[in-house]
Structure 1
Amino acid sequence: MTAVEGMPPGTAAGDTRADGGDGATSSVLYTYDLAPTKKQGRRWGAYNVFTLWANDVHSLGNYAFAIGLFALGLNVWGILAAFALASVLLFLLLTLSGFMGHKTGVPFPVMSRIAFGIRGAKIPAAVRGIVAIAWFGIQTYLASAVLSALLIAMFPGLRGLDSNSLLGQSTLGWISFLSLWALQLLIVSYGMQMIRRYMAFAAPTTLITMLALAVWMFVRADGSISLSVDAPLTGGAMWLQILQAAALWVVIYGTFVLNFCDFTRSARSRGSIVRGNVIGIPLNMLFFAVIVVVLSGAQFKLDGHVITSPTDIVRTIPNMVLLATASLALIALTVAVNLLANFVAPIYALIDLFPRRLNFRRAGVVSAVVGLVILPWNLYNSPIVVNYFLGGLGALLGPLFGVIMADYWLLRKSRINVPDLYSEDPQGEYHYSRGFNPRAVAAFVPAAAVAVVVALVPFFHAAAGFSWFVGALLAAVFYALIADRGAQIRDVDGESIAVAAE
């Protein structure tokens, strides 16, 4: 995809945006990449929304989490129940979030201006971006480990390149990491339409590969699986684990719930979002759960051990061609997940922070470079960093979601003045007090403090999995109580402006 004459430098053809509004539009708030999507730029149908979930749900990290439930003592039916409950919750949350993107056509940093103000919105965008960049590096590292193992299996002579260490990585590790790092940067450099096309390719590849792997394991186990470990949970302990598992699964998607509008801003209709979500979340997640119980149950029947990831099974495939095919499919899957969950969000956050210097392509380069220089393998191998730094930041996402959703759905009833999202006029609807909404901050801070304490303080360990919900509900309640609807929604000619860039 190339730049089109008349478009800003670095602009990808096919990503058409709406006009910036009236003469009060600010060049600090309005850029090509942050502008609302016009109707002709809305190319995401139900299949595209489905492929987003088909890729993201089947990530290696998600498989490790789900298989861990089997190891913790949940039986097959408990795992299926946990994912059924989680899928219903996620479908509702993501559909509401997706509708916001479709109506306004704006990305998450701009969407945040509605509740937090034209300047205050940089807070949620920055938090989401920092978390995403860290996980971008970590996911790239995990995919590179699969690539390194595949290369050694295919070319045993490369084992010598895997025995040294430079900044925590072997020579082969660096080669694998930089190769996948560059591949993702190349895809992103062509814009959201290329990401959409890559997802369309990766999704069926992922689903077919995981289904084939499950069938192969089922046949190896003589057509049956273990329904649980030797000492499964029962009674109240089982139901508590089911609820915690469902809550943690929603927490895993706490990032996506926030910035789903980055993708649905290009959706053709609300129906496309609903249909894509129905197939991609409840149906696809139950398919995922079935794959999990077959893989873990079959392996446990074979040798009494619980695997930690599908890669454990892939490495046992005796045929080199099949081994290479399965490994490459897992790598393609991880790249797709990384692009969706961890690359797009920081790109828009950086554009919002530096609108006069960065566009989509340049912000992608900056995000990728930061994801490299933090040496993510060291972060991944440090429980303190993952649990306290990334866990603490993750706990902030629930309160942000609570404020934004309460403001949009409860107080404004989805009536949004899109041109004012790009205006620095002191009389603008989202200018509030010097660009910050003090009510949103007042609701967010105490809710965030409670969420972080619940997530990180050992005393609340039993409730840590529910920290996202605690923060989101508290923030929504606080905001609804203190927000003055009359002061926040400015009537024009007796009627609130509701402008959708369609």
Structure 2
Amino acid sequence: MTHPDVRIATSESHVLPSAQHGPNPQGLSASLYNNDLAPTTKAGRTWSSYSIFTLWANDVHSLGNYAFAIGLFALGLGGWQILLALGFGALLLFGLLNFSGFMGEKTGVPFPVMSRIAFGIRGAQIPALLRGAVAIAWFGIQTYLASVVLVVMILAVAPSAAGLNSNSFLGLSALGWICFVALWALQLVIVSYGMEMIRKYEAFAGPVILVTMGALAVWMFTRAGGSIAWSTGNTKTGLDMWLGILGGGALWVSIYGTFVLNFCDFTRSAKSKGSIVRGNFWGIPLNMLLFGVIVVVMTGAQFKIDGTIIDSPSDVVAAIPNTFLLLAASAALLILTVAVNLMANFVAPIYALTNLFPKVLNFRRAGIISGVIGLLILPWNLYNSPAVITYFLGGLGALLGPLFGIIMADYWILRRAKINIPDLYRSTPKGTYYFTRGVNFRAILALGISAIAALILAFSPALGNVSAFAWFIGSALGAIIYLVIAKRGQVHQDIDGEAIAVAPTH
């Protein structure tokens, strides 16, 4: 429901379907405000430190992350070097996510609305859509990876289904299509119930995933005779080793370059800053250390057994000789992938689309559209070798790094965290975030210059040694350029949004 004093301006010729009859003293615009984009009431915030922790308990252990970390092993890093790379990335992420999360806790607004502070009430569509596009691609990839696990489950129970797995249409077998579409539809059903259902699902899935992955690592360790191979025998040394470690950590941050952008989509419902810090601490440095140990044990054990490098935990699951245990482990991987997609790859495009069409889209409708796009792009074609994923992530970092730098610089340095929240929803030229016809062209210019530079760094063969750092370089360039050209001399007001806030209803 909306606040009883909120009615959308009649000049926009639109009112929210659930708006109460009455005046519109806040002067809100129907093209900027609806129940899903409105700030959350402080009393209605339910995300505790455990809620934040379970986000990471699920996302860190995603199949895509395992493929990436195992890829570091395949590209010449040994066990302890992988742990060092992941630890380096985890410490950086802990700090970045706290800074990003605090913005959501203070304002209660989702990422597309938060972007309005730097890019303007209309210009914010650019960062929102870029973030949403990345999320949709990963939604498809993660669903595909889960469908591979489901195929394994089906073949274990019904070997006669192998005939459905021997043909191909648009890159997938008939069985592959059946499994992919089934998981795709299941996720659409869950997301249709909104953010509170996502929170509950994450809380359920987190412990399941931690126990399952730990058990798989112990099982592999036992199969390998109680020891593992710490390298492939062709491990990097010297400068190449340290560049690999730092590059691996930087790419690890690039994976979460998407999440540090829209972390406020979740922390807008956090009970306090302390909840964010505690949840991030247990979920990032400590959980990522556990993740690294599991990667090293599973990969090193398999290499010791037969000299091969697994592609993902699904390879380990497929080798389980007991059908019941195989099905149980496969089911846990499916639970994991659904959890990852719900939080990391559905929420961002839902808010991006809602921000684009607030008069006609809500959380549920935007979720359906996001899912359909994720199916139509045939995402399994994006997923190939560890090297391809590495360069793909580097490219994403090149685009998203500048966005993070610009928004952080605007919020923390220029405005000193002083935000006029009601003005985020006003289309009047006198509004704080109206800029020039609703667009801050200075932020757009900073984004364009820094994104081009970061893309060159990410994809130029001559600059291959620094491509892993594209996210950081792009972020720093975006922040510096924006701070140089940003308009100065403004007095920033700090006005909370409680008067226009909405209690979470789904």
Alignment TM-score, normalising by the size of structure 2: 0.91
Kindly indicate whether the alpha-carbon contact (under 8 Å) linking 1:20 and 1:30 is maintained by their aligned counterparts in 2.
no
Matched, 1:320 2:326: no
SS for the counterpart of 2:455 is: helix
Name the counterpart of 2:292.
Answer: 289
Name the counterpart of 1:15.
Answer: none
Cα distance in 2, alignment partners of residues 144 and 445 from structure 1: 37
Residue 169 of structure 1 and its aligned partner are, at CA, apart by: 2.5
Kindly indicate whether the alpha-carbon contact (under 8 Å) linking 1:82 and 1:245 is maintained by their aligned counterparts in 2.
yes
Amino acid at match of 1:347: I
| Superimposed CA distance per residue, residues 386-407 of structure 1 (whole angstroms, 9 cap, x where no aligned partner) | 7888864542100000000000
Matched, 1:240 2:247: no
Name the counterpart of 2:496.
Answer: 499
Kindly indicate whether the alpha-carbon contact (under 8 Å) linking 2:68 and 2:390 is maintained by their aligned counterparts in 1.
no
SS for the counterpart of 1:380 is: coil
For structure 1, list consecutive stretches of 5 or more residues without a partner in the other structure: 12-18, 491-495
Kindly indicate whether the alpha-carbon contact (under 8 Å) linking 1:116 and 1:440 is maintained by their aligned counterparts in 2.
yes
Name the counterpart of 1:428.
Answer: 431
What is the aligned counterpart of 1:133 among 136, 153, 170? 136
| Superimposed CA distance per residue, residues 446-481 of structure 1 (whole angstroms, 9 cap, x where no aligned partner) | 111101111122222221111111110011011111
Name the counterpart of 2:379.
Answer: 376
Cα distance in 2, alignment partners of residues 63 and 432 from structure 1: 44
Name the counterpart of 2:84.
Answer: 81
Name the counterpart of 1:442.
Answer: 445
Cα distance in 1, alignment partners of residues 41 and 206 from structure 2: 27
Kindly indicate whether the alpha-carbon contact (under 8 Å) linking 2:394 and 2:470 is maintained by their aligned counterparts in 1.
no
Amino acid at match of 1:444: L
Name the counterpart of 1:337.
Answer: 340
Amino acid at match of 2:409: A
Cα distance in 2, alignment partners of residues 408 and 361 from structure 1: 30
Cα distance in 1, alignment partners of residues 163 and 23 from structure 2: 57
Name the counterpart of 2:179.
Answer: 176
Matched, 1:451 2:454: yes
Kindly indicate whether the alpha-carbon contact (under 8 Å) linking 2:350 and 2:370 is maintained by their aligned counterparts in 1.
yes
Cα distance in 2, alignment partners of residues 441 and 500 from structure 1: 26
What is the aligned counterpart of 1:346 among 334, 343, 349? 349
Residue 193 of structure 1 and its aligned partner are, at CA, apart by: 0.4
Amino acid at match of 2:412: W
Kindly indicate whether the alpha-carbon contact (under 8 Å) linking 1:412 and 1:485 is maintained by their aligned counterparts in 2.
no
Kindly indicate whether the alpha-carbon contact (under 8 Å) linking 1:131 and 1:394 is maintained by their aligned counterparts in 2.
no
Deviates more, 1:394-403 or 1:185-194: 394-403
Residue 346 of structure 1 and its aligned partner are, at CA, apart by: 0.4
Matched, 1:117 2:120: yes
Q: Structure 1 pair 186/91, CA: closer, same or farther in 2 (3 Å)?
A: same
Q: Structure 2 matches for 1:405-424, cutoff 5 A? A: 405-424=408-427
| Superimposed CA distance per residue, residues 341-390 of structure 1 (whole angstroms, 9 cap, x where no aligned partner) | 11110000000111111000000111111111222223436999978888
| Superimposed CA distance per residue, residues 50-106 of structure 1 (whole angstroms, 9 cap, x where no aligned partner) | 000000000111111111222222222211111111111000000000000000000
Kindly indicate whether the alpha-carbon contact (under 8 Å) linking 1:148 and 1:173 is maintained by their aligned counterparts in 2.
yes
Residue 442 of structure 1 and its aligned partner are, at CA, apart by: 2.1
Amino acid at match of 2:494: I
Q: Structure 1 pair 362/10, CA: closer, same or farther in 2 (3 Å)?
A: farther
Q: Structure 1 pair 260/186, CA: closer, same or farther in 2 (3 Å)?
A: same
Q: Structure 1 pair 272/420, CA: closer, same or farther in 2 (3 Å)?
A: same
Amino acid at match of 2:496: V
Residue 486 of structure 1 and its aligned partner are, at CA, apart by: 1.6
What is the aligned counterpart of 2:62 among 59, 62, 68? 59
Name the counterpart of 1:108.
Answer: 111
Name the counterpart of 1:31.
Answer: 34
SS for the counterpart of 1:486 is: coil
Deviates more, 1:59-68 or 1:269-278: 59-68
Amino acid at match of 2:127: P
| Superimposed CA distance per residue, residues 233-284 of structure 1 (whole angstroms, 9 cap, x where no aligned partner) | 2222111110000000000100001000000000000000000000000000
Cα distance in 1, alignment partners of residues 486 and 59 from structure 2: 36
Q: Structure 1 pair 168/220, CA: closer, same or farther in 2 (3 Å)?
A: closer
| Superimposed CA distance per residue, residues 93-129 of structure 1 (whole angstroms, 9 cap, x where no aligned partner) | 0000000000000000000000000000000001111
Residue 311 of structure 1 and its aligned partner are, at CA, apart by: 1.2
Kindly indicate whether the alpha-carbon contact (under 8 Å) linking 1:103 and 1:500 is maintained by their aligned counterparts in 2.
no
Amino acid at match of 2:321: P
Name the counterpart of 2:256.
Answer: 253
> How many equivalent pairs are there?
486
Name the counterpart of 1:155.
Answer: 158
Kindly indicate whether the alpha-carbon contact (under 8 Å) linking 2:422 and 2:495 is maintained by their aligned counterparts in 1.
no
Name the counterpart of 2:480.
Answer: 477
Kindly indicate whether the alpha-carbon contact (under 8 Å) linking 1:20 and 1:419 is maintained by their aligned counterparts in 2.
no
SS for the counterpart of 1:44 is: coil
Cα distance in 2, alignment partners of residues 141 and 87 from structure 1: 27
Residue 173 of structure 1 and its aligned partner are, at CA, apart by: 1.5
Kindly indicate whether the alpha-carbon contact (under 8 Å) linking 1:132 and 1:342 is maintained by their aligned counterparts in 2.
yes
SS for the counterpart of 1:267 is: coil
Alignment TM-score, normalising by the size of structure 1: 0.92
Matched, 1:460 2:463: yes
| Superimposed CA distance per residue, residues 181-225 of structure 1 (whole angstroms, 9 cap, x where no aligned partner) | 111001100000001111111111100000001111111122111
Amino acid at match of 1:187: I
| Superimposed CA distance per residue, residues 289-313 of structure 1 (whole angstroms, 9 cap, x where no aligned partner) | 1111111111122222222211111
Name the counterpart of 1:69.
Answer: 72
Cα distance in 2, alignment partners of residues 409 and 399 from structure 1: 15
Q: Structure 1 pair 390/366, CA: closer, same or farther in 2 (3 Å)?
A: farther
Cα distance in 2, alignment partners of residues 333 and 388 from structure 1: 25
Matched, 1:231 2:257: no
Q: Structure 1 pair 427/245, CA: closer, same or farther in 2 (3 Å)?
A: same
Deviates more, 1:390-399 or 1:79-88: 390-399
Kindly indicate whether the alpha-carbon contact (under 8 Å) linking 1:107 and 1:259 is maintained by their aligned counterparts in 2.
yes
For structure 2, list consecutive stretches of 5 or more residues without a partner in the other structure: 7-14, 502-506
| Superimposed CA distance per residue, residues 399-423 of structure 1 (whole angstroms, 9 cap, x where no aligned partner) | 0000000000011110000000000
Matched, 1:303 2:314: no
Matched, 1:202 2:199: no
